[in-house]
Structure 1
Amino acid sequence: MPAACPQTPEPVPGRCGFLEVPESRSHRGGRTLRLAVAIIPAASGEPAGEPVVFMEGGPGGDAFDSIPFLVSSGVNRDRDLIVMAQRGTRYSEPNLACPEIDRFNVTAVGLRYDSPATGRLLVRAAEECRDRLTRDGIRLSSYNTPENAADFADLRTALGIDRWNVYGYSYGTNLALTYLRLHPQGIRSVAIDSVAPPKVVNLPWTWDSAAEGIGAIFAACEAQPRCKSRYPHLRRTLDEQVRRLEAHPLTLMAQPPAGGDPVKVDLDGGALVNILVANTVKAVDVPAALDELAHGNPERFARARAVDVGTVIGGFAHGMTQSIACAEWAPGFSERDVLKAGRRNFPGWPDSVLAQPPQLPFEHDLCRAWNVPDRTAIQRVATFSTVPALVLAGSFDMKTGASWAQVAARTLPRSTSVVIPGIGHWVVPQSPCAASVLASFLDRPSAPDTGCVAALRPAPFTITPDAETA
């Protein structure tokens, strides 16, 4: 149904409407959801017939916030681009935002990252959000990936589109693969970027991805003579700093990256690791930042720790995150499984750090509070398809390690796999070559031009003066 575009930070460069879908397709008579939809016209004067539909990451991310990145990457160069706010996210009704968790995140920068006391505060915030949402009559178990995929199937039908191309990143790859498995009709091609395959996404897996991405950064430094000479022992430096900060956390004042007054931050071992995984310190700066930290200058990491102070309260749908993570990712693996995965990847690190999966701290405690049913039997499944697919990964990705893209590719026999050196999470907006490969794939899904990849190398790392000789 046509409607005014949402009031986004940057105006939507197209026309908008909303899609109405049932909250639960297995429980008739429930509430109806309204999902905002935008159609951004092709930049070309002669657009191709099959549009591209985008699937946002998260889960819980704001798809409309990604439109500027998609447009600047040329995703709509020759085809209309369709963006829909996934169920439960910003610009959908209802919105499963949790301002309670946002406010916790703002204050948590001054708390021990992996302290049980911090975990209790996070769980309390999640409980408050869950209680509020359920009081409003929201069926949290209906905010899951299969229902999400069915919404996109309904969208194609509602728009009268015979065939379209699917592009998703991060959780959006999980959604795209689920959509391809459950609703293959009308899909011309699928591009997945920074891949989280439904078959393998679980809490211990986060340590595997973190280790792969960190290892790739260190290996790239080793391959650059100036970086190798200036920072010869990065893994040892990281290990030492994680142990040191976990035993003796730093409490200091730091200015948030978005500006404003300095705030108190706590920098312990868990915070250091999660700053790296979140890429709030750029990969090219990681060797220099670790060296500075080892020589008594924690400024880069302290400022990155303060990033959550700029959180837009209510901007991210944490309720959608927890409804999916607690139903589809957490079940079947215990806290001990997370710890074992951490020890396997980072032997010698403190257990207090390794007990918390990167980016999802205290998730088992959160899931006990969130209390949604286990859906892994129907969701932790591989997608087998002969639809042409493009599988993109960044070698520095610490959230969804590059090797996991190959897990998805194994059951997509008509897939083309590309690893972009020196790039982290969400490849296309960061790499003109990847954007070119995607454009070529959309033109010729069975034979994309990947020629630009062979000449790529990671960018030179930041080299700072030696603290002992400067």
Structure 2
Amino acid sequence: MRDWRGGLLVLLTTAGLCGTAMAAAPLKPCRIEGIPNELLCGSLQRPLDPARPDGVKITIHYLVVPAMARNKQPDAVLMLAGGPGQSAIKVAPRVLQRLSRLNNRRDLVFVDQRGTGLSAPLECPDDSKLPITEQLDTAAQMRRLDACRATLEKLPYGQDGGLRFFTTTIAMQDMEAVRQALDVPQWNLIGGSYGTRAALEYLRQFPAQVRRTLIDGVAPPDMVLPASFSTDGQAALDKLFDAHAKTHPQLRADWAKLLASLPRAVTVQQPLTGVPEHFTVDRELLLRAVRGPLYQPALAAALPAAIQAAARDGRFDGLFGLTTAFGSGKGMKLAMGMHFSVVCAEDMPRLAQATDTPGTDFRNVDADMYARICKTWPRGDVPADFYKVPPAPSPVLLLSGGADPATPARHGERVAKALGAGQPARVQHLVVPEAGHGVMAVGCMRDVMFRFIDAKTDAEALPQDAACATRIPRPPAFQPVQGGPAQ
């Protein structure tokens, strides 16, 4: 859940697509908030349940950013959003600049995956502005989610177990239907975070329809999110302590002192409203507050000062303010109904078999939370092949951040090995040691992305040189300005 508290992120055969394709609405001029120029929007009707083509229908909406050049390349770029639960169309303004060189000669396509944005959304009410005491009450959280699920199950596409049909496998069949509707011969896939899982699933189902694949922050299908988040969050936190050991030699001791002081009553200004509120900070809340900033090294650089202020002076405003900064911005809000429909179906059934060792501090925080929610959430069917990553049929470039608390390099390494089985030259895994969650926005990486996708032949596509990014150092620790005496 990407809110001010931090925390998480986050089927049928291809024959299910045949005979179920429906006429797409013609592309129409449209405008999207955050993008100044006129674009094209389209929609496509799809069966909620691919096995029942005559049953309930949902509408899949998509945005096309036309290529700037008249003599454009036919292979469009498909951007797969993260989460799970992000709207690709709402994310478009945030990523368009990074893809500007690709957009010179290629259309960019953003599809709101089923359950997100405009495509049969499964959204829960935003509780980010509720009083902190209401947000943090676990029983109240569960009641709000139960109420949200009950509301979603009354929607035309939520009735009779409809929430079971929002899995990644079915959603990628929608992406294939959009490709056919736009008459795109092949996609160039770009996926970030959960979008990497989506890209791998599309590549598994429709290998001939993919020209190039770039995945950033690899979240493989066998990841078991609630378990891996504890392991990876702990590794990122430990790396933070090591990185700032010289400037903050007492940081580990301050952290241990802070944990030992919990639970404790505090007063904090609500980060979004500025209203002072009184509540109790426990271990679970503190860990979620710390995890959010770890996603972005620029924000994590302020964690040492925030931890010190909380441990030594009892001031927690810095910690919760940093988490708000991480979760703010257009396109960051997740459709939580879609989020749970995916995670409860694809990850939770495998939790008992997960081999990740829980973090010393994080323990089972996320696993326990998801277990409570998924106990009553409708669960879709997932085929065994979903969890397999077959050899890559075309070039794949994987990107990982060495300081990523959610999808660090260990996951990318595993996927790269599977994709490169038999033909390792088709796959490259680039690790940016001091990057967090998401490498595409780092320095020169947009040029690396462009060269990879624009290369005329597969042999020219890989390997790519990313030394301009891998040499970028970690941001130094933030030092609060000390006010002097009034003049």
Smaller-chain TM-score bracket:
0.7 to 0.9
Q: 1:420: which partner in 2?
A: 432
Aligned partners of 1:327, 1:53: CA distance in 2, in Å? 25
Q: 1:453: which partner in 2?
A: 469
Q: 1:124: which partner in 2?
A: 143
Alignment of 1:73-88 (within 5 A): 73-75=98-100, 76-78=102-104, 79-88=106-115
Say if 2:396 is the partner of 1:381: no
Change (3 A) 1:261 1:275: same
State the Cα RMSD in Å.
3.1
Structure 1 residue 266: Cα displacement: 4.5
Q: Is the 8 A contact 2:90 2:331 kept in 1?
A: no
Change (3 A) 1:106 1:179: same
Q: Which amino acid aligns with 1:191?
A: L
Q: 2:20: which partner in 1?
A: none
Q: Provide Cα deviations, 1:283-341, integer angstroms capped at 9, x if missing partner.
A: 2212222222222132211324667998999953111001111000111324x979x83
Structure 1 residue 409: Cα displacement: 0.8
Q: 2:243: which partner in 1?
A: 220
Q: Is the 8 A contact 1:97 1:315 kept in 2?
A: no
Q: Provide Cα deviations, 1:121-145, integer angstroms capped at 9, x if missing partner.
A: 2222222222222222421111001
Alignment of 1:243-322 (within 5 A): 243-244=260-261, 247-256=262-271, 258=272, 260-264=274-278, 266-279=280-293, 282-296=299-313, 297-304=315-322, 316-322=334-340
Q: Is the 8 A contact 1:50 1:165 kept in 2?
A: yes
Structure 1 residue 378: Cα displacement: 4.3
Q: 1:15: which partner in 2?
A: 40
Q: Provide Cα deviations, 1:70-102, integer angstroms capped at 9, x if missing partner.
A: 21213544322110100011111x211111xx2
Say if 2:323 is the partner of 1:323: no
With 145-154 and 456-465 compared, the bigger mean Cα shift is at 456-465
With 231-240 and 311-320 compared, the bigger mean Cα shift is at 311-320
Q: Which amino acid aligns with 1:206?
A: F
Aligned partners of 1:85, 1:410: CA distance in 2, in Å? 30
Q: 2:397: which partner in 1?
A: 390
Q: Which amino acid aligns with 1:325?
A: V
Aligned partners of 1:183, 1:229: CA distance in 2, in Å? 51
Q: Provide Cα deviations, 1:42-91, integer angstroms capped at 9, x if missing partner.
A: 35676444221000001111212211222121354432211010001111
Aligned partners of 1:466, 1:312: CA distance in 2, in Å? 33
Structure 1 residue 188: Cα displacement: 0.6
Say if 2:214 is the partner of 1:188: no
Q: Which amino acid aligns with 1:422?
A: E
Q: Is the 8 A contact 1:387 1:412 kept in 2?
A: no
Q: 1:210: which partner in 2?
A: 233
Q: 2:117: which partner in 1?
A: 90
Q: Is the 8 A contact 1:278 1:399 kept in 2?
A: no
Q: 1:57: which partner in 2?
A: 82
Which of residues 158, 162, 169 is equivalent to 2:181? 158
How high is the sequence identity, in percent, across the aligned residues?
25
Aligned partners of 1:337, 1:455: CA distance in 2, in Å? 34
Aligned partners of 1:422, 1:210: CA distance in 2, in Å? 15
TM-score (norm 2): 0.81
Aligned partners of 1:38, 1:313: CA distance in 2, in Å? 15
Ranges in structure 2 where 5+ consecutive residues have no aligned partner: 1-24, 421-425, 456-460
Aligned partners of 1:438, 1:313: CA distance in 2, in Å? 22
Q: In structure 1, the residue corresponding to 2:257 is in which secondary structure?
A: helix
Q: Is the 8 A contact 1:383 1:412 kept in 2?
A: yes
Q: In structure 1, the residue corresponding to 2:307 is in which secondary structure?
A: helix
With 194-203 and 156-165 compared, the bigger mean Cα shift is at 194-203
Q: 1:225: which partner in 2?
A: none
Q: 1:238: which partner in 2?
A: 255
User: How many residue pairs are counted as aligned between the two chains?
Assistant: 438
Change (3 A) 1:119 1:411: same
Q: Is the 8 A contact 2:265 2:278 kept in 1?
A: no
Structure 1 residue 465: Cα displacement: 7.0
Q: In structure 1, the residue corresponding to 2:49 is in which secondary structure?
A: coil
Q: 2:377: which partner in 1?
A: 370
Q: In structure 2, the residue corresponding to 1:110 is in which secondary structure?
A: helix
Aligned partners of 2:467, 2:325: CA distance in 1, in Å? 37
Change (3 A) 1:313 1:49: closer
Change (3 A) 1:237 1:53: same
TM-score (norm 1): 0.84
Q: In structure 2, the residue corresponding to 1:190 is in which secondary structure?
A: strand
Structure 1 residue 13: Cα displacement: 4.8
Q: Which amino acid aligns with 2:39?
A: G
Structure 1 residue 195: Cα displacement: 1.0
Structure 1 residue 428: Cα displacement: 1.3
Structure 1 residue 41: Cα displacement: 2.5
Q: Which amino acid aligns with 1:390?
A: L
Q: Is the 8 A contact 2:62 2:110 kept in 1?
A: yes
Aligned partners of 2:113, 2:284: CA distance in 1, in Å? 31
Q: 1:224: which partner in 2?
A: none
Structure 1 residue 398: Cα displacement: 0.9
Q: Which amino acid aligns with 1:396?
A: A
Ranges in structure 1 where 5+ consecutive residues have no aligned partner: 222-227
Change (3 A) 1:55 1:13: farther
Change (3 A) 1:309 1:421: closer
Q: Provide Cα deviations, 1:253-301, integer angstroms capped at 9, x if missing partner.
A: 3152x56544556433222211222228812212222222222132211
Q: 2:363: which partner in 1?
A: 354
Aligned partners of 1:383, 1:451: CA distance in 2, in Å? 29
